[in-house]
Amino acid sequence: MGREPLETALESPVLQSAFSRPLLDWYAANRRKLPWRDGKDPYAVFVSEVMLQQTQVRAVLPYYARWMRRFPTVEALARASEEEVLKEWEGLGYYRRARLLHAAARMVASEFGGRFPSDPEEIASLPGVGPYTLAAVASIAFGKALAAVDGNVIRVVTRWFGIRGVPSRRPARPKILEAVQRLLPSEAPGDFNQAVMELGATVCLPRRPCCLLCPIRKGCVASTKGIQSELPEAAPSKAAVRQFEYAGLVMREGKVLLCRRGDGGRMERLWQFPSVILAKESKRWTGRWKARYGEMKGAELLAVLNYSVTHYRIRLEIYRIEGFQRYKLPSARWTPIAEAPKLAFTAAHRKLADRFLVLT
């Protein structure tokens, strides 16, 4: 069956028995115990699905536990300030997810009486809810027959059917979506969606898939032909962009000068040390720094940190600035060092803050 053309395979009367049923049986016996699977609380499912976007389960687990202790209900999240939300999210990355999650909670509180909506159209109206999140929440929490297609699902389906092409583009994309929707059983669609994701996360791995452990290997085109490493086909990656960041540690009378990033762009509205970013490494960074923040005397190199954000490769140098006379940006402020741990920093600057803002 797996060797048939996709259109023929989708019309096969044994599709459910070859794929969905053995997969569901495998999932029932092998699924990981994850905290958001303990029940069908739509808020808990929603939080987990937002956190899991572009982030692996093992990284999400401690954040999810802290988040649910701090914001156990959608109403608790709706009442929180943005600063509180960003602080709890600090370090998880892609902060736009946290802001949209917060906005969705406020919408549930204001327009749905604090009760998470069960209607797919109403779920889709929440900020930040796209096709995948809609299908995941609606199927898992409310039993709606919507197929949730994430990276794990794409990998399983493209290999099983032998679908060629970049999954995010035509003609592969509509083929994948049709295939998953056809496979979706009318009963327990939430379990099915989670089962395919689980298979992709634990067995049908990007590299070195464990095909001998796969419950649906007999029908898999990629396994039969030995082309697992070729599927799914990857889109051309963006070339890495080098950047050089120069930050200043400026302190006086128990306070430190911090800046809040503006709206839009990477890591909006997070806190950091005053800094400038250049396209090329330059000893003349002090001129750019002075022009932006004000006069300074002396700059002692304290540390160098290399980090990446998407396709940017950044070298960050932090200097102790002495003799600082004034600052110009409205986003900059003198913050008591004791209050700095309460602020949500960018990940790189949090490492610097933890190292150099030592309370004495």
* Spatial distance between the Cα atoms of 175 and 180, rounded to a whole number of angstroms: 9
Retrieve residue 278's tokens: 């250049």
Residue 339 known to be catalytic: no
CB atoms within 10 A of CB 62: 11
The tokens for 59 are: 């990284």
Dig out the tokens for 185 from the structure. Answer: 């059983």
Angle between helices 189-202 and 131-142 (to 10 degrees): 120
Cis-peptide, bond into residue 120, ω within 30° of zero? no
Residue 301 is encoded by which pair of tokens?
Answer: 């190199």
Tokens of 117: 């909506």
| Strand pairing class (312-322; 255-260) | unpaired
Cβ partners under 8 Å of residue 188, min gap 6: 24, 143
The DSSP code sequence of 118-162 is -SHHHHHTSTT--HHHHHHHHHHHH--------HHHHHHHHHHHT
Reduce the DSSP state of residue 278 to 3 states and report it.
strand
d(CA 28, CA 22): 10
3-state percent breakdown (helix, strand, coil) of the chain, nearest 5? 50, 15, 40
Contact 199, 23 (CB under 8 A): yes
Q: How far is CA 2 from CA 45, 222, 223, 244, 268, in A?
A: 33, 9, 10, 50, 47
- The helix (run of H) or strand (run of E) holding residue 70 is helix 57-70
Phi, psi of 248 (to 5 degrees): -120, 130
The residue annotated as part of the active site, out of 11, 49, 198, 281, is 49
3 state SS of 329: coil
- The catalytic residue positions are 49
